[in-house]
Amino acid sequence: MKKTSLYFILLIVSFFSCEKPETKPNILFILVDDFGVKDLGFSGSEFYETPHIDQLASQSFVFTQGYANSRVCSPSRASIMTGKFTARHGITDWIGEKFGEDWREMQRHDKLLPANYVHSLSKDDTTIAEALKRNGYRTFFAGKWHLGSEGSYPEDHGFDINVAGWESGSPTGGYFSPFKNPKLENKVNGENLSMRLANETVHFMKQNGNQPFFAFLSFYAVHGPIQTTQDKWGKYQTKANAKELQEKGFKMERKLPIRQVQDNPVYGGLVESMDDAVGVVLQALKDLNLDKNTIVVFTSDNGGVSSGDSYSTSNLPFRGGKGYQWEGGIREPYFIYVPWENSNGK
């Protein structure tokens, strides 16, 4: 096994080995899509409400200079899975993006053309799921994958169970069922996607709490399409009006305007729904008496979308956002909760 493949295991196990329990710890990895470092109340947002994640952060080791390995999703996710830099695993852009002369079809006139890239996660690379599985862990994946098509899904890279992980980089049916996802059965019409993924994760923990497990909860949120309920939209619309934030403006950055203020009520509702789902999983750990032996990792795959797809959020004071190689595009919320360590958000 290559040394780079052990990066994550070394980080979360060996680094905290001084007082670790005799039994193997469970690992819950929570990955939020397109979530900016400033999108948490814990990190300074005065608009979005994320009480459950904030509480987790306050008890965790907080990495104040956490960075993604790429400004877009697929390369960053491949790095998380393998411990390799993008140039080594070869996925250097989001899978599905055009390259070479095809780039011109999108009316882009950059002098330099993007190079070709690997379009699926290589089976020659050891994933964290494969490494943990070899060491007696039951492995579970729920949510966004975006690391290849059929033949390169989570179950092909070490995960015993795969719920909703396939080739799409966004929720094809939106955030309310029917989901139009071949890896996710529709149950209740109008069901919230983030909560469904949380409930599937809880079900896995209930079924496998008697053995060490690795649960990778990979939210499609907060990737576009930006959607929320009427109630949550109304809450954040009222909040924006009260703060006189609504449509405070954008600033032009070379080719695209970039949102300068966190004032998007639809995005606020989407963020809160994701936080609600995180809360369900964390509460389940307590209810199942698994919280004392479960390491929880929380991070994102790239910066918040401040321009382009949905103009969702602002990453200020960091420049840019998703798709940009500036701080706003790669700076991430990143913290690790280790129950037998007293970190208090430091």
Residue 66: strand, helix, or coil? strand
Which run of H or of E encompasses 261?
none
Q: How many angstroms separate the CA atoms of 172 and 308, rounded?
A: 18
Reported as a pLDDT band with limits 50, 70 and 90, residue 174 is very high
DSSP letters spanning 142-174 = EE---S-STTSSGGGTT-SEEES-SS-SS-TT-
* Crossing angle of helices 193-208 and 265-287, rounded to 10°: 10
Q: Residue ranges per domain, the chain?
A: 3-337
Q: What are phi and psi of 204, to 5 degrees?
A: -60, -45
CA gap 186, 201 in Å, rounded: 16
CA dihedral for 167, 298, 219, 309, sign (positive or negative)? negative
Asked whether residue 74 carries a pLDDT value surpassing 50, the answer given is yes
Do 226 and 235 meet the contact criterion of CB atoms below 8 Å apart?
no
pLDDT digit string, tens, across residues 209-246: 999 999 999 999 999 999 999 999 999 999 988 877 66
The label of the residue with tokens 């907080």 reads: 62
Token pair of 270 as six digits: 């989407």
- CATH level 3 topology of 3-337: Alkaline Phosphatase, subunit A (3.40.720)
Give percent of the chain above pLDDT 90.
68
| Residue 23: burial class (beta carbons within 10 Å; 0-12, 13-18, 19+) | exposed
Q: What is the pTM of this model?
A: 0.91
Selection from 320, 306, 314 nearest residue 261 by Cα: 314
What average pLDDT does the structure give for the chain? 88
State both tokens at 20.
């670790």
Mapped onto helix, strand or coil, the DSSP state of residue 306 is coil
Task: Assign residue 83 a region (left: φ > 0; alpha: ψ between -120 and 50; beta: otherwise).
Answer: left
The whole-angstrom separation of Cα 109 and Cα 73 is 23
Q: Which residue has the higher pLDDT, 315 or 126?
A: 126
Q: In what order do the strands lie in the sheet with 335-337?
A: 61-62, 335-337, 294-300, 26-32, 213-218, 138-143, 161-163
Of residues 263 and 252, more confidently modeled: 263
Beta bridge partner(s), residue 227: none
